[in-house]
Every structure is written in C-alpha cells, then in structure tokens.
Amino acid sequence: MTGQPKFEESAEYAKARRQWEADYKQQLGDEEPRRNRSGIEIKPLYGPSDWDGGQYLRDLGFPGQSPTTRGIHATMHRGRPWSPRLVVGLDLPTDYNARMRQLYEIGLTGLYVAPCNSHMRGFDPDEVEPELLGTCGTVIASAEDMRICLAGLPIDEHSVSLGCSAPYTLSAFLFATAKSRGIPWRNLAGTTNQSDYLSHYTALHMFFRIALSGQRRLMLDHIEWMKQKAPRWNSLSIVGQHMQQAGATPAEAMGLTISSAIQYANDMLERGHEPDWFLPRFSYFFDISISFFEEIAKFRAGRRIWERIAGERFGAKDPRSRRFRFHAQTSGVDLTRQQPYNNIARVAVQAMAGIFGGLQSLHTDAFDEALGSPTATAARISVATQNILRDEAHLDDVIDPLGGSYYVETLTDQMEAEIESVIAKIDDCGGMYRAAETGVVQDMLGRSAGRWQDMVENGDQVVVGVNAHCTGDDPIDRPPAKEHLAASRVEQYLAEFSAYKRDRDQTAVGRALDTLARACNSENENTYEQIVNCALAGVTHGEICGRVRRELGVGEPLIVP
C-alpha cells in the first residue's frame, strides 16, 4: 500500500459526489424508498463510499479459495459449465423415458426423476384415485418402473438427481437398476434431491406420512450408507427452494437452509462422525426469483457464510467440506397464467441471476407451468434458454463477472447480515428441528407470503399481465395444454403392476420387509441398507413406506394459520 489517502476521501471526490446528489435531488425530488424482497433499501447509485474494496483476500478471495465468495472451484464455468438439469416427471415410466431421450438430444446433461404425488404421499399406485396418477410426475413404484424410466440413458456418465424423500426408495430403485445393468454403485454420481425432510415438513408437506423423528433417523442412516457404498453420491441436498416458493424472502430462504445444514451437521456429529467425513457430500438446492441482483447477492453471501460456518463452527479442515455446491431452479411463483409467453423472458432473467451467482446445476422452468404440467415444446424451450445463455451470450466466459461491482458487493454484505440474523433466530429456537416442530418456520413463511401478496394486491409490486399492462384474453396467448394420460393406459399400467407383485418371490419379499422392520427397531442397524435390499427383492414403494410408518410412526402436517 502506498499510504496515499483513498481516492474517495479526496476533496475532488467529495465535491463531485455532492454535485451529483444535488442534481439527482433537483430532478427527482423526494422519492419513496425502494426495497428488495428481503426488505433491504436499494439506493439509486453505489460507489466507493458504500464499498471501498474491503479486504480482498478476507472478503472475496480467488475462486476455489476461502471465503469462496467468487465461486467454489478455481475454474468455475470455464472448467465445467453448469449442468442443465430439468425436473422431469410425467405420465408413465415409458413416457418419462421418451421425454428424457428427446431432451438429451438437445443438450440436457443432468438427469432428474420426479415421481408423481401418489409416490410423494407414500402410496402405491393401486392405493390412490386413478385420476391422479402420473399427472404431476411419473408413476414410479418399483425397481422395475425405474429400470424402464432410465432404459438407454447414460446413468454411469451423467449424474442422476432424484426427487426422493425419506425413506428414499427412488435411490434404492436406482441402485437396483444399476445392479441389473452391471454398473458398480461406487461409480454412480447423483443426488437424493429431496432428502431434506425439514424443508418438506415446514414448507410444502410433501412427505410420506412418516413421523418427524422417524424421518430424522432415516436421513442420517441414508447419509451413512451412501458414504460407505456410493461415495460419489450426494446423499443430502438441503433445500431452500421449498421455503422460498412457500413465501420466504430470499434472505430468509438462505438463512433457513443454512440453519438446516447446521442441524444435520450437528446430528451427524452426535452420531460420532468427524465433520470432514460427511460435509463434503452436503449439497444445496435453491430457488431463483426474478429479483435479479438480490438473488446474485444471496448466492454469493450464502457461499461465504457456509464456508465460514463449516470452518469455524464445525472445524472442517478439508476444503471440500466448506464448498457450497448448489443446484437452483427458476421460480415458478414468479410465472403468470396471463400472457404466458412472457414467462420465457422471466425464466431467462432468473437463470442469468443463478449463473452469475455461481451455481453448479440449473433447472429452467417451462413457460407453461402456471397453466399445467409442461408440454414437450415448452420443456425444449427451457433447455434452449440455457444453451443460448451459455453458447450465444457467453455467460460462462468470466468467473463471478459482477464481483467488484459497488452495488453487488454492498448488497452481498447486506444480504449476509440479513441471512445471519435468520440463522441467529433459529439458533435461539434451539435449532431447525425444534423450530420446525414448534411451527416457528411455518409462521415465518406464512407472514412473508402474506406481505408479498399485499404488495401485489396494492400494486407496489408490478406483475406484468396481472396487475399492470393487462390485455384481454387473446387466442394467441393460449398455448395448447398438455394432453392427459389416457385412462386405458393407466388401467394397463395397474394390471402390469399387479402382475409384477404377483410374480415376485413372495418369500424374499416377506423376509426383506421383516428385516427392515427389525432394523427400524434396532439402533445399531442401518435402515437404508434394508431399504436397498427391499428394492432388490422386488418390494414396492408403498410396501416399504407402510412398514416404515408402522415401525417409526405416522406423521401429519403441522398446521399453522
């Protein structure tokens, strides 16, 4: 350092700044303060008096180096572009397979399997209203269904993300599929994308009717088993996306997610594990709203906070334990039914925020998601959007291209403070498990959802086509809806499912379920080992969930007004 006063402390600077302030005020007068979704006031201009460069190595550092503000890898998207990964789930296993093959041809590289809501409630398909089968995800109830879903898809080359909640039968079905294709489990890479049971319990009630304490046990067993049998697998994906979609502000969603990570890390420490044994496989999944700069700042701040917490609170030594790896999904809540083609523009802006925020994997919503399940055309456009941003706009050229921006750095610091206040609040409640059990989180989400709705209702937040720039119903604005799965095909599927159950080795099925029940009741056994064995023996999803509920207890949503 030269010892010279900083430029912004000079008389010249002060004079120029005063002049600008006077000009601004003269032209605009007294303005209403503007705030972002997290409540931070946004000024019209940022400069060196807001952010003076800080201490570069302490606050920003180089990519791949502490505090990882600029990215978790030295090479970021230059070394490996983000994985375009779409949540795909529709109709029957053969339909899923056909849709995935189409998307693969146009550049999708990440697989994602989203099961339908019969699966998400822990039922077999023959236990629910047939009208609901395959309407919002693919019907998957057995290892055989998974085998059909993934036939011919390169599960040994590309990572597979599964919409898979406790007790994680989808992962077990995938492992059975890998075995039948001769792929060693150690080679499988992927993510149990919905393993974060606290996010399900607090934000969207998409769990399998299993008691909260039971889900806690199942998840910890799952992490331990995966670490030993499939070390490349991300057994835990901690989900802020659910909370933000349920109403949390971006800062709240990030804070609650990190609080969940703290809870899970503490639970693993309590089981006697070293932090560096399990933290490298923690991964995250976030929402990206259209609040562009706020989202970029959210991701940069979250990455810095976790890097610090992993090191300081948990004493992690391995740099991989401190890496905040995340998948993100463009926000469906921001999409509109009115003038639906506008959603293509919204998704592109959201995706850019995620890319500049340094994500590892990206789902872009289909523009017709406010109308129903995505059509094939809309899904293709969402993949093309990513291809355009990467290959035409070259957003992968420069690492953390907004780093050093007076605004983005100031906002990153401010978001960091907001996020830390949420983490402190949850710490005060005794951690995230306790905060979920007592409804504190649900209450926070409901209040923020209400505040957002008020802003849309009174016009403080413009939503184009909804409360501003509205047009009448124009036929050109109505894309065709996705066709429903024919009832005859559902009947045929159910007949095949029934035959599958009839033709199994019934003794092996009974033995696998009894062994699972014993594991549930013995603290020294790993429940997940037995769930995988059940999948290999042909036990169905509903049968596994039913037995787990019987042994570990039934859970219902905790309702907060």
Partner 1 sequence: MTKIGLDGHDRGSRLVANFLRDAGMEVVSTGPWQKISDVVGLAETQAIDVIGISSLASDHRIVPKLMAALVARGLGHIAVVVGGIVPDNDLDLLHDAGVSQVFHPGTSREEIVGKMQQLAADAQMSELGTL
Among 205, 222, 281, 325, binds partner 1 (CB under 8 A): 205
- Provide φ and ψ at 238, rounded to 5°: -95, 125
Binding-site size, partner 1 (CB under 8 A) = 46
CB of 539 to partner 1, least distance (A): 21
Q: Indicate whether 483 belongs to the interface with partner 1 (CB under 8 A).
A: yes
In whole angstroms, what separates CA 304 from the centre of its chain? 18
How many CA atoms lie within 13 Å of 345's alpha carbon, on the beta-carbon side? 6
Q: Indicate whether 478 belongs to the interface with partner 1 (CB under 8 A).
A: yes
Among 108, 120, 162, 432, binds partner 1 (CB under 8 A): 120
CA angle 107, 235, 66 (to 5 degrees): 80
Question: Cβ closer to partner 1: 102 or 117?
Answer: 117
Asked whether the beta carbons of 201 and 215 are under 8 A apart, the reply is yes
Stretch that binds partner 1, among 14-22, 46-54, 138-146, 332-340 (CB under 8 A): 332-340
Strand ranges, E, within 4-137: 34-35, 41-42, 83-84, 111-113
CB of 481 to partner 1, least distance (A): 4
Strand ranges, E, within 331-453: 361-363
Residue window 378-417: x/- pattern of binding to partner 1, with contact defined by CB under 8 A: ----------------------------------------
Q: Indicate whether 183 belongs to the interface with partner 1 (CB under 8 A).
A: no
CB of 113 to partner 1, least distance (A): 16
Among 481, 486, 487, 495, binds partner 1 (CB under 8 A): 481
DSSP state of 332: S
Question: Cβ closer to partner 1: 255 or 465?
Answer: 465
Q: Give kind and range of the element (H or E) at residue 327.
A: strand 326-330
Question: Cβ closer to partner 1: 136 or 189?
Answer: 136
Among 281, 300, 323, 482, binds partner 1 (CB under 8 A): 482
Among 153, 349, 370, 517, binds partner 1 (CB under 8 A): 370
CB of 223 to partner 1, least distance (A): 24
d(CA 503, CA 497): 10
Q: Which residues make beta-bridge pairs with 287?
A: 329
Residue type, 323: R
Q: Indicate whether 204 belongs to the interface with partner 1 (CB under 8 A).
A: yes
Q: Indicate whether 187 belongs to the interface with partner 1 (CB under 8 A).
A: no
Token couple for 186: 């150690």
CA angle 140, 137, 445 (to 5 degrees): 120
Q: Indicate whether 559 belongs to the interface with partner 1 (CB under 8 A).
A: yes
Among 131, 391, 428, 514, binds partner 1 (CB under 8 A): 131
Q: Indicate whether 118 belongs to the interface with partner 1 (CB under 8 A).
A: yes
Q: Which residues make beta-bridge pairs with 554?
A: 210
Q: Give kind and range of the element (H or E) at residue 167.
A: none
Q: Indicate whether 117 belongs to the interface with partner 1 (CB under 8 A).
A: yes
Write the DSSP assignment of 74-113 as a string of letters: SSHHHHSPPEEB-----SSHHHHHHHHHHHHHTT--BEEE
Stretch that binds partner 1, among 73-81, 309-317, 354-362, 481-489 (CB under 8 A): 481-489
Among 42, 98, 136, 151, binds partner 1 (CB under 8 A): 136
Name the one residue in this structure whose structure tokens are 């995988």.
532
d(CA 237, CA 228): 18
d(CA 120, CA 113): 12
Q: Indicate whether 49 belongs to the interface with partner 1 (CB under 8 A).
A: no
Q: Indicate whether 472 belongs to the interface with partner 1 (CB under 8 A).
A: no
Among 465, 538, 542, 546, binds partner 1 (CB under 8 A): 465
Residues between 487 and 506 that touch partner 1 (CB under 8 A): none
Token couple for 27: 């032209």
Q: Indicate whether 195 belongs to the interface with partner 1 (CB under 8 A).
A: no
d(CA 131, CA 145): 19
Question: Cβ closer to partner 1: 165 or 414?
Answer: 165
Residues 6+ apart with CB under 8 A from 243: 199, 202, 203, 252, 253, 256, 257, 441, 445
Token couple for 524: 């020294």
d(CA 308, CA 331): 28
Q: Indicate whether 245 belongs to the interface with partner 1 (CB under 8 A).
A: yes
Q: Indicate whether 67 belongs to the interface with partner 1 (CB under 8 A).
A: no
Among 64, 372, 439, 553, binds partner 1 (CB under 8 A): 372
Question: Cβ closer to partner 1: 263 or 373?
Answer: 373
Q: Indicate whether 211 belongs to the interface with partner 1 (CB under 8 A).
A: no
Which one, of 533, 450, 513, 434, lies nearest residue 173 by Cα?
533
Q: Indicate whether 206 belongs to the interface with partner 1 (CB under 8 A).
A: yes
- Tallying the residues shown for the chain, one arrives at 561
CB of 247 to partner 1, least distance (A): 6
Q: Indicate whether 64 belongs to the interface with partner 1 (CB under 8 A).
A: no
d(CA 180, CA 225): 20
Among 102, 342, 405, 467, binds partner 1 (CB under 8 A): 467
Report the interface residues with partner 1, using CB under 8 A: 117-118, 120-121, 123, 128-129, 131-132, 135-136, 200, 204-207, 209, 245-247, 336-338, 370-373, 445-446, 449-450, 453, 457, 463, 465-467, 478, 481-484, 556-557, 559, 561
